[in-house]
Every structure is written in structure tokens, then in C-alpha cells.
Structure 1
Amino acid sequence: MIATAHRQKSTKMSLAVHTPRILCVDDDPDLHTNLELRMQIYDVKIERAFYGMQGIVEAAHTLPDLILMDHAMPNGDGEYLLQCIKSNRATANIPIIVLTGMRDPVLRNRLIAGGADVFLNKPIAFDDLVHEMSRFIDLRLREDEGGNPC
């Protein structure tokens, strides 16, 4: 009886689903707030960083599943952040989506060549962002305690 109970508990624990972690690096607090509000329906954890160096430290510390980053930020712009993340073995394989208001094809090509996976121009349609994020992480709808989606 004890072995059966332990086996059932082990099975339940092994069925635990990973909650994807997203690191958003942007100096605009409104972007962070809007992202968190819009992403509430998904089972994800969102971490915040407001400038390049903070993003580098957070990425190395939390090892997120996906990074969303601005290009123009204080204390380390997007290119510096991208270079640091891609040159660190622990963070090199984390997918990166660049979100920027800069509509510069040369910049886009440089960031993609530097390791960015996606380059999106602000303002960004939320559905487009969700579509791009879903290429890299599993976006499951959050469930309430009754098992029904929110």
C-alpha cells in the first residue's frame, strides 16, 4: 500500500510541467506592465530588467527560456547585451527576440547575424509577439484551480 502511494506521488511529480521563464529587457516600464497584463492568460513567468547590464546579470542568474529585449537602452544597448549573452556558454542558446522602434534594415541584419532569432518593430501587435514567442516556448493557457482556462 505504501509503495503504491509513493508510486502515485512520484507519477504526479514526474508529470509536472515546466513553466517557461521570459526575461524582458527594456527601459520602458509601460512595456513591462503591458506584457505582464497581456501574458496573464499564459502559464509563464516574466522577469524584468530595465537596462543592458541588468539584463546580462539577470540572464546569467535566471537562465530564462526566452529573452525579449529592446535595442536602445541605457547601460548597455541591445547589441552589447546580445554579444554578452551569446558569448556566455550558459546563456548562448537562449532564443532572443529584439523589440525596437528603430526601422533600420542594416541594424536588423547586424542583430540577426549577431545571434538574435527574431527582430520586431515597435509598436508590436500582441498576436504577432505571441506567435513569435510560441516558436521558442510552450505557451499554455493558465488554468484555475477548477482545471478550466482563465
Structure 2
Amino acid sequence: MKKKVYILEDDPDLRDILAHVLGKEYEIGMSEELDVSDVVVFQPDLILMDHGIGNSTSEQNIRSLKNNIPGFGIPIILFSGHPDISRLAIDPLVAGIIRKPAGISEVRAHLESFFSTQ
């Protein structure tokens, strides 16, 4: 059974490219803004989250997931060009960071590394 990756990215072109390329190896769910009910229904094994989604940040989105999904514990990889992304990735659910711009091979390598330890 394919692992499930939920892509939370507001750039539609990047989101579509990631979904197309990663969809060969993973079951993909995606959204341009956080929709807690989508996450609940999709039940991802991992969330690939941009730091800045519209007017919200990854910290706000993680807080929303924790506050609205009882026992929320889905690991998150932050995917962002924010200059302080390492400093922002302090939540225990953040399993890694990928700095933009990153090539598809780098994204794949991060996901493969993450899932190989699960």
C-alpha cells in the first residue's frame, strides 16, 4: 500500500508538479490552504507543508491541526524558502525541512529518507 503524503502549498504550479511527480510513489492529497477536515478524511502518513500559506504560517497551521484533531501526531516536513526556516521548525512534529528552491530529486530523497525510518 502506498504511503500517503498531504501537500499543503499555495503555489498552484509547484503543488501540481509535486503531486504529479510524487504521485508515482505516494498517494497524494493536496490543498492551497489548510482544511482540517481534508486532513482528517485523507489520513496522511506525512504532511509536506509550506511555511507561508496565504495569511497563515506553518506555526499557525500546526497549532490549528493540534487544536482541531484529537491526538494529532502526523509528522510534518516544512518546505519553504523562508530564511529562518530552521529556527521556525521547533515543533516536535516537524520531522525535517526542505529549503526552496529544491529540485524534485531532493524532495524525493527527503521523503524516502523519512519513510525508510518509519
Q: What TM bracket, shorter-length normalisation? A: 0.7 to 0.9
Q: Distance in 1 between matches of 2:2 and 2:38?
A: 17
Query: 1:38-93 CA distances to partner (integer Å, 9 max, x unpaired)?
Result: 22432x211111113x2x3322222101100111112532111122334544431x
User: Equivalences for 1:52-63 in 2 at 5 Å?
Assistant: 52=34, 54=35, 56-63=36-43
Query: 1:83-110 CA distances to partner (integer Å, 9 max, x unpaired)?
Result: 2334544431x12111111111xx4223
The verdict on how the C-alpha distance between 1:134 and 1:86 changes in structure 2, with shifts beyond 3 A counting, is: farther
Residue identity opposite 1:72 in structure 2? G
Structure (1 or 2) with the greater strand fraction: 2
**Which stretches in structure 1 are left out of the alignment for 5+ residues?**
1-17, 139-150
Q: TM-score, normalised on structure 2?
A: 0.81
Report how many residues are paired: 115
SS of alignment partner, residue 137 of structure 1: helix
**Which stretches in structure 2 are left out of the alignment for 5+ residues?**
none
Give the aligned partner of residue 49 of structure 1.
31
Structure (1 or 2) with the greater helix fraction: 1
> Kindly, what percent of the aligned residue pairs are identical?
24
Give the aligned partner of residue 91 of structure 1.
72
Q: TM-score, normalised on structure 1?
A: 0.66
User: Equivalences for 1:1-150 in 2 at 5 Å?
Assistant: 18-42=1-25, 44-52=26-34, 54=35, 56-74=36-54, 76-86=56-66, 88-92=69-73, 94-104=74-84, 107-137=85-115
Q: Between Structure 1 and Structure 2, whose CA radius of gyration is higher? A: 1
